[in-house]
Amino acid sequence: MSPIGGVGVNLAIQDAVATANILGRPLREGRLSDEDLAAVEKRRLFPTKATQKLQLMMRSSRRTDQADAAKRKGPPAFIRGIARWPVLAHLAGRLMGLGFRMEHVRIDRKS
Ligand SMILES: Cc1cc2nc3c(=O)[nH]c(=O)nc-3n(C[C@H](O)[C@H](O)[C@H](O)COP(=O)(O)OP(=O)(O)OC[C@H]3O[C@@H](n4cnc5c(N)ncnc54)[C@H](O)[C@@H]3O)c2cc1C
């Protein structure tokens, strides 16, 4: 996990867990349908869009920072702003590490 917000792999693993949870049983029973695939998309759409939005916000803040990079020392303004507030820093770290929607492997004992 990158400390500057590279979270693509986190999303990929959560996508994989959600997909396994939703498609596992229909696949095993040989009755996979378009509705099952749509259910995966529906579950993962919000965290994907929210993460993209957050990364775009960080990128535009970085662009402003680059403009006065010569004057600046230390981390970008966006990060300095968050670090000033311990609760915000904790929330940002948690969001970065765990994402907008956590996924847990579901053990399906019926099949
Ligand atoms: C340069 C770069 C740096 C990155 N750095 C980071 C980082 O520091 N931290 C981080 O968390 N993330 C990072 N990422 C993002 C991360 O790599 C991706 O978000 C993540 O790999 C996406 O995983 P995925 O399984 O969803 O898709 P992918 O890893 O893209 O896997 C999809 C797979 O499906 C295959 N495929 C596509 N179409 C078909 C088909 N029709 N039939 C069969 N197979 C198919 C592809 O060949 C590929 O192997 C980086 C990405 C890039 C490009």
Contacts of 48 (CB under 8 A, 6+ apart): 11
pLDDT at 57: 77
Tell how far the Cα of 48 is from the centroid of ligand 1, in angstroms.
Answer: 14
Residue 6 in contact with ligand 1 by CB distance below 6 A: yes
Contacts of 64 (CB under 8 A, 6+ apart): 77
Q: Please tell me the total number of residues recorded for the chain in this structure.
A: 111
Residue 97 in contact with ligand 1 by CB distance below 6 A: no
What is the pTM for the complete model shown? Answer: 0.83
Tell how far the Cα of 9 is from the centroid of ligand 1, in angstroms.
Answer: 8
Atom 19, ligand 1: which residue's CA is nearest?
Answer: 8
Tell how far the Cα of 78 is from the centroid of ligand 1, in angstroms.
Answer: 27
Taking the CA of residue 10 as reference, the ligand 1 atom at the shortest distance is: 11
pLDDT in tens, the chain (111 residues): 565 677 888 999 999 999 999 999 999 999 999 999 999 999 999 999 998 888 887 776 665 656 666 566 677 777 788 889 999 988 888 888 889 999 999 988 775
Q: How many CA atoms lie within 13 A of 107 on its CB side?
A: 1
Taking the CA of residue 16 as reference, the ligand 1 atom at the shortest distance is: 25
